[in-house]
Amino acid sequence: MRARRRVGVSVALSTTYRGRLRRESVWVMRYRLPSGKDSRMVLGPAWTKKGRPAAGYLTEGDALLRMEAFAVEHSVDIRDVRRSFRVALDAFLRDCEQERGLRGSTLHDYRKIGNRLAGRPWRGGLSWAERPLDTFTDFDLIEVRRELLAAGRAACTLNHYRRVLRGVFGTHVGSPANGWVWKAERVESEGKLRFYTPEQVRKLVAEASCALDGAVFTLAAEAGPRLSEIRGLKVGDVDFKVGVVRFGDGFTTAGGPGW
């Protein structure tokens, strides 16, 4: 299908993402924001067969209708920075889920952090959720970072907050997100790494409560996977003949299996 256009908006069938085949074809809408930035949005899985589409799938006509509705809704948009924090946050989370294909546990963390930020008070009884993006300054975001440091939050937590704020505000010139001291995150955990010696690992395995725990301890120490990757390990991921373990998926209680 050729891309169908309407004043800065187009829809096309997409079968690949970053050079790799998608699991299934999707309709992708590309549009230009009032700020001049080009962006895109996955409308949904594409129904290219004959007959009534399955639940959740979109025909070409359905995709075009959504494009038209989007174009009409945003035809009188003011500058992109007048969007509220909540609208920008939802767009970022949608992109993480539909385009970046992040793990469920990561999405869960980003959504939890985003909701915490959206709930921060602003003025007149309003919160950050309703606050327009162009009312924020770098001092607002630096204050968030200062509070996290004062609370003794780990460097990985600060990095998660950083990624969410960058996703909401962007990194263009003048973005308040640029006020965060990004370089500091690379060294905040410096000197804090702790690890077991080989003797300690052997003692830990020897005193494991069961053989399964001992196997988990050995795998973690020898291969270095995350706990979520160990929990998501399947029999098919282990090549017993060659002696290779492949960690492709993860599993967490909060996010479930990863993609």
Distance CA 194, CA 25 (A): 45
pLDDT at 6 over 80: no
Residue ranges of domains in the chain: 4-77, 85-186, 198-257
Distance CA 88, CA 60 (A): 27
| Torsion (CA) 122, 123, 127, 133 in degrees, nearest 10 | -60
pLDDT at 8 over 50: yes
Confidence of residue 118 (pLDDT cuts 50, 70, 90): very high
Q: What is the pLDDT of residue 5?
A: 46
Phi and psi, residue 193, nearest 5°: -75, 130
Percent of the chain clearing pLDDT 90 (strictly above):
21
Give how far Cα 170 sits from Cα of 11, 30, 80, 177, 221, Å.
Answer: 24, 18, 12, 7, 38
pLDDT at 184 over 70: no
Q: Are 4 and 10 in contact (CB under 8 A)?
A: yes
